[in-house]
Amino acid sequence: MHDAIPFLRRQPVIILFGVLAWLLAVWQLTQVAVTQGKSLYFLLIALNGIGALFALLRLFWLIVTTRRWQIDNKDIFMWFCITIGYGSAFYLAYYLELPALESFFLCFLLVNFAPLLNRLSALVAISIFLLTSVTVASLQHTLPFMVFMLFLLLAQSALWYMAYCNIAEWQAHQETTTAHAQLRATQQLLSEAVARNERTRIARDLHDQMGHHLVALTIQLQILERKIPEAIAPELHHIQDIAKELFSDVRTTVHQLHEEEPSFRVLLESMLANIPFLEFDVNVDADIVALDEPLATCLLRIVQEAITNSLKHSDACRLWISLQKQDESGIELMVKDNGKPRKSLDMNLGKGLIGLEERIRTLGGRLETHQSDEGFMVAAYFAEEMWS
């Protein structure tokens, strides 16, 4: 939920102004209803508020549970709220004989719904604005049709667009945060690769140069042992012991330099720790510790692409990441989310994986993807010689 809090904190002020405008409209319309002896029409006004309230609660619940904004033209609950809200306004426009001023207050009952229609696609929302503006302008009896229709259409569109920009800013922040986390993971991987190359160079120099000189020194001391008097033999033996200890220390240092590589799990969890809006279950085989830099980079890229697809193309809130050693076929990386795909984006879902698939093939691996109502899955297989 903490990922949605910055966005939600900015909404109370907007909601407060909307509620005040709605209450002002309710007051004016109620006065007209009472004056005309149509007090029961207050129930229609209340019904309009109930529809807006439940639509608002629906959107807040979606934000808190999924941590991001989602467009869904098939949200039956939202359509039910919209029908109640706009339907009650239609009845009020037709059955109440509203003066010119109160007719404009009637617009507030509809305008308050406009920001909530960002749950629907832009085309559907604008179509609703146009249809409702024409309908209400036709049903009311006071103001000229064109003036009332254009005023209501522009007012709804303006508030909808303000909310749209607010949501777009939040989504851009989400994408920036995710991209920054992925960039830091890539930089960390690059830094580790540079450090590993430097450790390898130092270890090679110690082994080839220092080790060679120590072996030569040991041989020279053994030759010298045969030529010197026995009186100074203890001192020579002490020098030989020091040379052997030094040679042993060099071998130990070289061995440690080769082992000072972070495990793939450490790199993976370091990246995931900075990814917002998603929860992760990570399972890495204990036998898989250090991987070659090209393979480790490729595996992290696969995870990054899966995360990007989950954030952009589904309502997923959890990812399962598994890297396991196979008995005969090498290793398998599988990333699966729990999101339902947005079918309008299915055609673009695999485009980001095309370049990644080519990289996988150059490493002798293969990529598989599968999409279902239970989520989207990416799996990559690599032969044992790539990591053993």
Q: Rounded to an integer, what distance in angstroms lies between the CA atom of residue 330 and that of residue 381?
A: 7
Q: What is the pLDDT of residues 274-289, one digit of tens each?
A: 776 778 898 888 777 6
Q: What is the pLDDT of residues 187-213, one digit of tens each?
A: 776 776 677 777 777 777 776 777 677
Handedness of CA 260, 261, 266, 271 (dihedral sign): positive
Q: What is the pLDDT of residues 80-123, one digit of tens each?
A: 988 988 888 888 777 777 776 677 777 777 887 888 888 889 99
157 and 126 Cβ atoms separated by less than 8 Å: yes
The H or E element spanning position 171 is: helix 145-205
- Given 3.60.15.10, 3.30.420.10, 3.30.565.10, 3.90.79.10, which CATH number is that of 263-386? 3.30.565.10
Q: Rounded to an integer, what distance in angstroms lies between the CA atom of residue 14 and that of residue 60?
A: 14
Cβ-in-10-Å burial (0-12, 13-18, 19+) of 210 comes to middle
Q: What is the pTM of this model?
A: 0.61
